[in-house]
Structure 1
Amino acid sequence: MGVCKKLVSSFSYSWKKKRDLAEAQKQLKLPEHSLKTECPTRWGSRQAMIDRVLEQHKAIAQVLSSDRKLRHLTLSWQDIDVLEAINKSLSPLVEFTDALSGEKYISVSFLKPTLHLFRNSILEVQEDDTDLVKSIKQKIVDYLNDKYSDPETQELLDMASALDPRFKFKYVNKDNRGSIEDRLTAEMKTMSADVTEDAAAAATPKKKKGLGSFFKVTTDKAAGPPLQQDQAITFELQSYLQTETLDAEEDPLKWWKESQRIYPRLSNLARKYLCIPATSSSSERVFSTSGNIVSCLRSSLKPDHVNRLVFLAKNL
C-alpha cells in the first residue's frame, strides 16, 4: 500500500507524468482514466485507488521505465498479487457502504440483512480464493461481528428490522423474536399512554360546570380499559406480523403512511426507529460543510451565523 500511494502521488504532482501516462494509455489501448488518490475521510477511496492502479499498471510501468529516479516504484508481480487480493475482497463492499450512507431513505433496517448477506454470500470463502483473500475476508467478518456484538445494539437493529415491512422478523434470530415482540408490546403501551396525555394536554379549556355534573354517577372502569387496550395492542402487532412483506424495492415510509390508521401505535414506533441513520456519514458531511464555510478568511464568523450557513448549505 505504501508503494501504491507513492506511485499515485508521483503522478498527481507532475504534469509530465500525466502527459506520458495519457500517451501510454493510447499506445496500449487502455481507458484514458487518471489515477485516483486515497482520501482518509472518504469510504471506498482506497479500493478505488487500487482498482485504478491495477487497470493502468501496464501504462504506469511503461512511464516509470524511462525515469531513473522513480523506476523503483514499478509494481512487481508480488505487489500486483497483493493489490488484486485486496481489490477482490473490498470491491463487493463499496456499493453497500455507499447505500448505507444515504440520508433520504431508510438505512438502519438494512444493517441486519446486509450483515447476513456478508456472512453467508459476499464474504464467504470461495475455493479459488488465495490465502490472502481468505484472511482479509475473515478479518472483515470478525470485525463486523465484534462491532455489532453489543446486546443493546443488536436489540436496536432487531427492532428496526422488525418495524420495516420489507423484512419484519426475517433476519431476527429465532431465539430473540419473543423478546423483540415483548419490547414492541411494551413500547406500544408506553406510546399509547404518551399519546393520551398529549391529547389531554391539547384539549380545549375546561368549561364551566353545570348543575347536572354534580348528579353524574361515576362508575369504576379501572378493570375494563386496560384489558381492552392490551387486546388491541396484541391484535395490532399480530395483524402486522401476519401481513405480506413488501418488495425490497418499495418504500416502507409510504406503506406506513397508508397504513397509519390500521396500525396507529406501530406507525409511531416505526417513525421513532426508522429515522435512525445506519452510519455516521450524515454527520461527517455536516462537519465537512462547516469546515468549508469556516475557512481562514472567514474565521471571525459567529457560531449562530455558522449554524445558519450550514443549515442553508444542507437544505437548499
Structure 2
Amino acid sequence: MLYNDQSSQKKKLDLAVVDMIALDLQPFTIVTDEGFKKLVSLLDPRYDLPSTYTLSGKLLNQRYTDIRNKLKEDMSGVEYVALTCDGWTSRATESYLTITCHFVSNHQLHAVVLSTKPLTNGINHTSENIAASIQEIIDEWEIDHKITSIVTDNAASMIKACELLKKKHFPCYAHMLNLVVQDNMKLIQPILKKCKDIVTFIKQSTSAMEIFKKEQNSEKPLKLIQECPTRWNSSYYMIERILKTNEAIGRTLLKVRKAPQPLSVDDVCVLTELVKVLDIFEEATKKISGSKYVTISLVIPVTMGLYNNVCKISTNMETEDGKKFIKGLIDSIITRLFPYENRTVAKIASLLDPRFKKEGFRIPANASAAINLLEFDMVSILKKKEEKKKTIEIQNQNVSSTPEKPGTSCALFAFLEERIDSKIKSLTADVIITKRQYLETINSDQDTDPLLYWKIAGHGLSPLEECAAKYLCIPATSVESERCFSTTGQIITERRSRLKAENVDKITFLHKNIRNH
C-alpha cells in the first residue's frame, strides 16, 4: 500500500527528491527514468515518485519559499551586508543577473545567493536597466539600508549602475589581477603561440597523444592543458604542464609527421622564468578569491606582497623576454593595483584585520588617512547607539507611569543630566583610546581568523567590533557571482534549454543555500 499524500514519510521523501534535484543539478525528468524508479522502488516500495509537473511546480516552489523565508529571517538580524553581481547569457540567449550577498553573523562569514534572474528588460543592457534589476532584488530582501558595498567587475555599465543606486562600488580585485597579467601577455605572444600550437597538435592527433602518454613512462601520464584567452592563469597552467612534460613532448614531436618544432633550450629558459613570476600571481588569485573567509583586508597587503616579490625576481631575470615581461608587470601593478590603497573600504578593512593593521600599507600616509576614516566611523556608530538608547528611554517613559520615589528631587541631580548630555562630546576621546588600544598591540599571527579575533577581543573594543562586521563582510572579488554561472550552466543544458527562468532562479538559489538550512 502506497503512502498517502498527507503521510509524513511521503513528505520527507518528496523533500529529499527536491533537494537531490537542486544539489546534484539533476533534471526534473529523472523521476521518469526507469533505472531511478526501480532504485526508489527497491529502497521503499510504498513511495510513489511525484510527477515532473508536481516536482517542478508545487514541490520546488514550497522548498524555495521555505529556505527563502529562513534565510530572510537570518538576515533580518544582520546590520551590514555586501553584494556582488555579474551578468551573463544562457544557452537560450537570455541575459541573467546573479546577485550574491555576504554578511557576518555570530562572527562567521556567510555567502548566499539572492537571485539569478533575467534583467528587468532583457534586451536592454544599459546601466539604468541593470540598476533597476538590482534595486528590485534589494527591495525584495529589504536590505537597502544595510548595504556597505557592491562588488562588480570594471564594466562601465556596472559602475554607473552602482552610482544610480547610490551605493559604494568596489572593483573586483581578481578581475584587476587578470588585467595586470593580460596587459603583458602580448609581450610574449611568439613563445605562447609555440606552446599553443604544440598543445593543439598533440591533443588533435590520436597517434601523437598515444606516443606522448608512453613517453612519460608513468602509471598516471599527465595531459596537456590548452590556454583560454580570457583567463591568464590558463596560460600559467599550460606553461607549467609543458615544462613538466617537456622531454616527453620533444620525443613525441620527433616521432610524428608534420609536427611543430619542439621547444628550444632558449624557449625553455624563458618559460621557466615566466612560471616563477606567474606562480606568485596564481597564489594571490587563489588567496583573494575565497568566499568562506575574509578577503577584503587582503587587498592592500597582497598588492604590496606582489610588488615586492616581482621586483625581487626581476633582478634574477636573464632572458630578454623575461625582463620585458616582468617590467611590464611592475608597471601594470603600479597602474592598476596601487590605487586600491586609496579606497576607503580596502583601507579600513586592512586596519581592522589584526594580522595587518597599519603594517599592511605601502605608504604610511595612507594608513594615517585610514585611521581618520575609522575614527569617524566609530564615532558615528556610538552616536547612533546613543540616539537609539534615548529613543528607547523616551518610549519607556511614555509607556510607564511609575511614580517618583518619595523624597527624590529632580532639581537636586540636574547637574548629572547636564553632564550625561555633554558626554557625547567626549566620544571622540573614547574612540581614540579604543583605537590606540587595538592598533598598538602586537599583530596577530598570519593564520589568525580575523572574525575569531573580534569574537574574543571585540567586547573590550567597542565599537571596533561593529566596524569589523561592517567592513570585513565585503568580498574582495565578484568571484562568488561568477561561480553561479558555471552552476547555472549545468542547469540550463541543451536538454533543458527551455527551462523557465523562475525555475532556473529557484534551483540555483537552493543549490547554493540549501546546505546552510
Q: Please state which band the TM-score falls in when normalised by the shorter chain.
A: 0.7 to 0.9
Alignment partners' CA distance in 2, 1:182 and 1:191? 14
* 1:136-147 pair list within 5 angstroms: 136-147=325-336
Aligned equivalents of 2:386 and 2:501: distance in 1?
39
The answer to whether the Cα contact below 8 Å between 1:119 and 1:141 also exists between their aligned partners in 2 is yes
Partner residue in 1 for 2:148: none
- 1:65 and 2:254 aligned: yes
In structure 1, the residue matched to 2:111 is none
- In 1, distance between residues paired with 2:328 and 2:480? 27
CA separation of 1:234 and 1:41: change in aligned 2, threshold 3 A: same
Q: Pick from 237, 253, 276 the counterpart of residue 451 of structure 2.
A: 253
Contact 1:4 1:50 (C-alpha < 8 Å) held by counterparts: yes
Aligned residues: 312
Counterparts of 1:146-185 in structure 2, within 5 Å, are 146-150=335-339, 153-172=342-361, 173-185=363-375
Secondary structure at 1:244 match in 2: coil
Partner Cα separation in structure 1 for residue 418 and residue 289 of structure 2: 53
What's the CA shift for 1:184?
Answer: 0.9
Whether the aligned pair in 1 keeps the contact of 2:349 and 2:468 (CA below 8 Å) is: yes
- Look up the SS of the partner of 2:349 in the other structure: helix
Matched, 1:107 2:295: yes
Is 86-95 or 215-224 further displaced after alignment? 215-224
The residue aligned with 2:322 is: 133
Report the equivalent of 1:85: 273
Measured at CA, do residues 201 and 211 of structure 1 come closer, stay the same or move farther in structure 2, by a change above 3 Å?
closer
- 1:292 corresponds to which residue? 490
Partner of 2:209: 18
**2:341–2:366 CA contact under 8 A, matched in 1:** no
| Inter-partner Cα distance in structure 2 for 1:276 and 1:30 | 45
State yes or no: 1:306 paired with 2:504: yes
Residue deviations 1:87-136 (CA, integer Å, cap 9, x gap): 23212322221111111111221222222222223442224533322222
Q: In terms of mean alpha carbon deviation, does 114-123 or 45-54 score higher?
A: 114-123
1:38 to 227, 236, 242: 227
Q: Which residue of 1 aligns with 2:178?
A: none
Q: How far apart are residue 52 of structure 1 and its match?
A: 1.1
Q: 1:110-166 CA distances to partner (integer Å, 9 max, x unpaired)? A: 222222222223442224533322222221121121113437744432211111111
Could you say which residue in structure 2 is the equivalent of 1:98?
Answer: 286
What is the Cα deviation at residue 75 of structure 1?
A: 2.6
Secondary structure of the residue that 2:509 maps to in structure 1? Answer: helix
- Find the aligned partners of 1:120 and 1:197 in 2 and give their Cα distance: 47
Deviations along 1:268-296, whole A, 9 cap, x unmatched?
Answer: 11111112222232222122222222223
Alpha-carbon shift at residue 266 of structure 1 (Å): 0.7
Higher deviation after alignment, 218-227 or 301-310: 218-227
2:237 is aligned to 48
The SS at the match of 2:359 is coil
Q: SS state of the match for residue 507, structure 2?
A: helix
Q: What pairs with 1:167-246 in structure 2 (closer than 5 Å)? A: 167-172=356-361, 173-197=363-387, 206-209=398-401, 219-220=417-418, 224-246=422-444
Residue 114 of structure 1 aligns to which amino acid in structure 2? V
Letter in 2 for 1:54: L
Which segments of 5 or more consecutive residues in structure 1 lack a partner in the other structure? none
> Distance in 2 between the 1:202 and 1:148 partners?
46
Aligned to 1:2: 193
Give, as a single letter, the amino acid of the residue that structure 1 aligns with 2:296.
Answer: V
What is the identity, as a one-letter code, of the residue corresponding to 1:190?
A: S
For 1:154 and 1:179, how far apart are their aligned partners in 2? 11
Residues in 1 aligned to 2:512 and 2:342: alpha-carbon distance in whole angstroms: 29
Judging changes above 3 Å, is the alpha-carbon distance between structure 1 residues 87 and 151 closer, same or farther for their aligned structure 2 residues?
closer
Which region of structure 1 is more displaced relative to structure 2, 246-255 or 283-292? 283-292
Q: Is the 8 A contact 2:303 2:338 kept in 1?
A: no
Looking at structure 2, the residues matched to 41 and 311 of structure 1 have their Cα atoms a distance apart, in angstroms, of 27
Asked if the contact 2:454/2:465 (under 8 Å) is kept, the reply is yes
Is the partner of 1:259 in helix, strand or coil? helix
Question: Once superposed, what is the RMSD of the aligned Cα atoms?
Answer: 2.9
Deviations 1:184-210 (A, max 9, x none): 111111122334455667787741546
Per-residue CA deviations over 1:20-74 (Å, capped at 9, x if unaligned) read: 1111122xx79831212223455522111111112222222222223222x2343
* SS of corresponding position for 1:17: helix
Structure 2 spans left out of the alignment, 5+ residues: 1-191
- Report how far residue 231 of structure 1 moved: 2.2
Q: Give TM-score scaled by structure 2 length.
A: 0.55
Question: By percentage of residues, which structure has more strand?
Answer: 2
Could you say what secondary structure the match of 1:247 adopts? coil
- CA–CA separation in structure 1 for the residues paired with 2:382 and 2:295: 26
Q: What SS is found at the alignment partner of 1:275?
A: coil
Q: Structure 2 vs 1, CA of residues 196 and 40 (structure 1 numbering), >3 Å: closer, same or farther?
A: farther
Evaluate the alpha carbon distance shift between residue 65 and residue 189 of structure 1 in structure 2; reply closer, same or farther with a 3 A threshold. same
- 8 Å CA contact 1:290–1:310 kept in 2: the answer is yes
Distance 1:262 1:101 in 2: 31
